[in-house]
């Protein structure tokens, strides 16, 4: 499969989702200035080594969004061959981080790529995202925002997850959403239960179903598409509010309560 080009601009960045485990993606891109490759959340090393060998690329660095093993398990093996910087959150749960990143920091790669760091807790407390604010905006958002869904709230609170998703929702609408699991069809199936008459959602299900039938990734998504079809970004929509209240059997008094209700619903879906 060819790398996914992010738009038809002269200096576009191409990113590629390397499949790992059963449904993970390890994102890889090449710095246009140095031609070094960077990987995001390498849960295992073998598919990364394979891709680097196929492309005849050298690794320049590793970007980590949070501490879960399926996002960090390949770091040690990669460092054994490539002693490169490891960027990530300030987390006691990730021993290999060499450059700790905090909300509002900038990460410059070469002289053409600068990522803005967003702290987006909820799924875990140490979760960060990498936002490339350019002609071709993209965000590596780990397990916080998924195509058609969001991550489980393992360590944070519904209020934290809502704040994190709200921050991501404020990014430019053409931002490419590079999350790390192929959960799209399952998420959209749940979304259809929440909003069965959402025409944009029904169209997306048809398109993404054909994509998966062709064994192609449904990612990256776009923020515009998520705002139209992802119930976790649509907590102000009356249709989502009504569905959440029907599930709970009681009124929801805030966006946070709507999100908490549909997350609880999804957890048991």
Residues that are catalytic: 66, 68, 70-71, 123, 143, 181
The angle formed by the CA atoms of residues 204, 207 and 213, to the nearest 5 degrees, is 135
Give the contacts of 219 (CB within 8 A, at least 6 positions apart): 17, 25, 147, 177, 178, 179, 182, 184
- In this structure, the strands spanning 59-63 and 86-89 are parallel
Ranges of beta strands (E only) in the chain are: 4-5, 14-20, 24-30, 37-40, 59-63, 86-89, 99-101, 106-109, 113-119, 128-132, 138-142, 145-146, 149-150, 176-179, 221-222
Helix (H, G, I), strand (E, B) or coil at 149: strand
DSSP 173: T
């Amino acid at each position: 499969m060819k790398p996914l080009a992010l738009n038809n601009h002269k200096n576009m960045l191409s990113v590629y989702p390397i499949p790992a485990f059963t449904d993970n993606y390890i994102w890889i891109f090449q710095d246009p200035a140095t031609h070094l490759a960077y990987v995001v959340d390498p849960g295992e090393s073998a598919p990364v080594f394979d891709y680097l060998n196929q492309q005849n690329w050298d690794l320049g660095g590793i970007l980590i969004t949070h501490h879960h093993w399926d996002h960090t398990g390949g770091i040690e093996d990669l460092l054994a061959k490539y002693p490169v910087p490891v960027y990530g959150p300030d987390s006691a749960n990730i021993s290999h981080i060499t450059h700790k990143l905090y909300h509002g920091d900038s990460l410059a790669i070469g002289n053409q790529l600068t990522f803005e760091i967003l702290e987006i807790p909820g799924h875990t407390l140490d979760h960060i995202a990498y936002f490339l604010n350019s002609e071709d905006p993209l965000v590596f958002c780990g397990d916080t925002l998924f195509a058609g869904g969001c991550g489980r709230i393992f360590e944070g609170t519904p209020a934290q997850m809502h704040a994190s998703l709200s921050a991501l929702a404020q990014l430019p609408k053409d931002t490419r959403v590079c999350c790390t699991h192929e959960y799209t069809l399952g998420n959209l199936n749940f979304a259809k239960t929440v909003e069965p008459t959402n025409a944009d959602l029904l169209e997306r299900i048809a398109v993404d179903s054909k994509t998966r039938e062709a064994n192609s990734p449904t990612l990256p998504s776009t923020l515009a598409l998520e705002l139209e079809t992802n119930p976790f970004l649509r907590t102000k929509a009356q249709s989502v509010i009504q569905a959440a209240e029907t599930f709970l059997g009681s009124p929801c008094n805030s966006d946070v309560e709507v999100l908490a209700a549909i997350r609880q619903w999804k957890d048991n879906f």
